[in-house]
A and B are shown apart, each in its own frame.
Chain A
């Protein structure tokens, strides 16, 4: 038991460092999409919600688990869709004006 906990603590510690390192150099224009994207990632609680509902043995557990699945799905789906919508705006656009100039030259 103690051993397992230690293993989880190791994973936790490493994840902390990765989490900090990975976003250290993000330009401020991407702060909002980054927040939204990480918001979607913690939607992984859906996996936890599924395990809870899947193991429910009483009505109370069933109700709580069912609610958790709904809320977590909202988090995952909403999070990814909103982020994608934000990032859609950053895609490099074809510039018709610039192309015309090239042709003219």
Chain B
């Protein structure tokens, strides 16, 4: 068997592990194993590549290659290991962005390489698509990171004629691609690169913070497609298979995620959702209704008399790092014979499933976590629904108010419970920037303050009773 055949066989093995890994990631039991399998397949592919011939010679610059890998390794491992769980979404964004950047660089270098060896050759479409898509993913992910990390506003950034400008930049990119295909001009490659960069930025600017996770999933799919394009350029089946797998599954995943929010993908991407802040943030409203607030001790008494309690956690809980105290509260209540469930909205936290990860980290038993539909049936017989740092996911406007921007989003019906308690930092609206009627419901009591502090006081008060 020739050397190249052996390497190709190893690549085939790697591609198979990637398929198995994606399959495994779909089931809670085998997910971790699946990830390990893919990592092993990746290692095999990387080691095999060191033995490959390019243009009839061994790989040049191997020490430099090892240095690059070493740099990447010593940066990535600590970052990935020690960044807080709440910052997970931006971490995925940044690791996706660098992948897009790498795919773009591979295509650019291949272009330059072809031109330097055979100046007269015409370039093919996939090289230019690799540059375009990879760069859009890189720039878009950088903006998504900045939004989630709050380096810039999380609100949609809009300006007059935005769609038109975006359209023009997009068309200009296509025009440049066509021109390069016809003229094989190298300077125009750098123009394409600049246009793609601008396109990535302006594409992401109007997307609000609450929708950024869906966007990251889409950009993840883009990077996959850029990798597949590089695979065409380099003639590598491995890159084509892996890139396409990620591209196709990523686009489907993006659609599933927007569906979980009751919205279409187009609506997520182009509607500048959340730019019209309707909520006033005051405790009294013009129509004279006001909210009722209580102390942690009041709530502790209420909880003490309950027989069934449902917690609805949101991102605010994670921000205040209150997960552990919430679990403690659940334990204290259970000791008193009170049933406790956690109702998890699919998009609670910043990404689908993010809340499950955060609660699992705090050692909340898996059986106490119930998904939205089950939570809604539990709530009908619940005495207290304790909403901790969530807002939009329990907003009845999603079912009642046709004019509301979140109309149609499935929600957890906290108002089905006998009593509703909100732990809130302030009257400020949620991430989507929409007023919540439930706060003014006579059933509802609000406890203002940091969720962790409030929960700690509640634990002490429940214990004392």
* Interface residues in chain A, defined as those with a beta carbon under 8 Å from any beta carbon in chain B: 4-5, 8, 11-12, 15-20, 22-58, 60-62, 64-93, 95
Contact = CB atoms under 8 A, between A and B. Distances in A.
A24 B23 CA distance: 10
A46 to B, nearest CB: 6
Given A17-B248, A57-B116, A71-B102, 9 more contacts: A5-B232, A19-B245, A23-B249, A38-B25, A39-B96, A41-B18, A71-B105, A75-B99, A81-B76
B252 A20 contact: yes
A31 B110 CA distance: 34
Contacts, number: 374
26 contacts: A15-B228, A19-B250, A31-B253, A31-B353, A33-B25, A34-B22, A34-B25, A40-B95, A41-B242, A42-B246, A44-B42, A44-B238, A51-B236, A54-B54, A54-B61, A55-B55, A64-B108, A65-B61, A65-B105, A71-B72, A73-B71, A80-B38, A80-B39, A90-B360, A90-B366, A91-B32
A40 B22 CA distance: 11
B102 A40 contact: no
A22 B22 contact: yes
B96 A75 contact: yes
B242 to A, nearest CB: 4
A8 B360 CA distance: 43
Interface string B57-100: 01111101101110111011101110000001101101110110
A49 to B, nearest CB: 6
Contacts of A87: 31-32, 35
B245 A35 contact: no
Given A54-B59, A91-B32, A41 B245 contact: yes
B65 A45 contact: no
A27 B31 CA distance: 12
Contact of A48 (B34, B227, B361, B365): B227
Given A48-B236, A56-B61, A93-B363, A74 B72 contact: yes
Nearest to A68: B105
B247 interface: yes
A32 to B, nearest CB: 4
Contacts of A81: 76-77, 80-81
Interface of B: 14, 18-19, 21-23, 25-29, 31-32, 34-36, 38-39, 42, 45-46, 49-50, 52, 54-55, 58-62, 64-65, 67-69, 71-73, 75-77, 79-81, 88-89, 91-92, 94-96, 98-99, 101-103, 105-106, 108-110, 112-113, 116-117, 213, 216-217, 220, 223-224, 226-228, 230-232, 234-250, 252-253, 256-257, 260, 344, 346, 351-354, 356-357, 360-361, 363, 365-366, 371
A30 B456 CA distance: 30
Contact of A89 (B21, B29, B361): B361
Contacts of B25: 23, 26, 30, 33-34, 37-38
B75 A47 contact: no
B102 A45 contact: yes
Contact of A44 (B88, B112, B216, B227): B227
A25 B236 CA distance: 30
A74 B76 contact: yes
B92 to A, nearest CB: 5
A88 B371 CA distance: 20
B98 A71 contact: yes
B260 A28 contact: yes
A54 B34 CA distance: 31
Given A45-B99, A55-B55, A90-B28, A50 B46 contact: yes
A51 B52 contact: yes
Contacts of B54: 51, 54-55
A12 B114 CA distance: 24
A61 B109 contact: yes
Given A18-B245, A51-B49, A78 B80 contact: yes
A74 B246 contact: no
A39 B92 contact: yes
B60 A19 contact: no
Given A60-B112, A85-B81, A49 B32 contact: no
A33 B31 contact: yes
A19 B99 contact: no
A35 to B, nearest CB: 5
Contacts of B351: 31-32, 35
Contacts of A56: 60-61, 109, 113
A77 B23 CA distance: 20
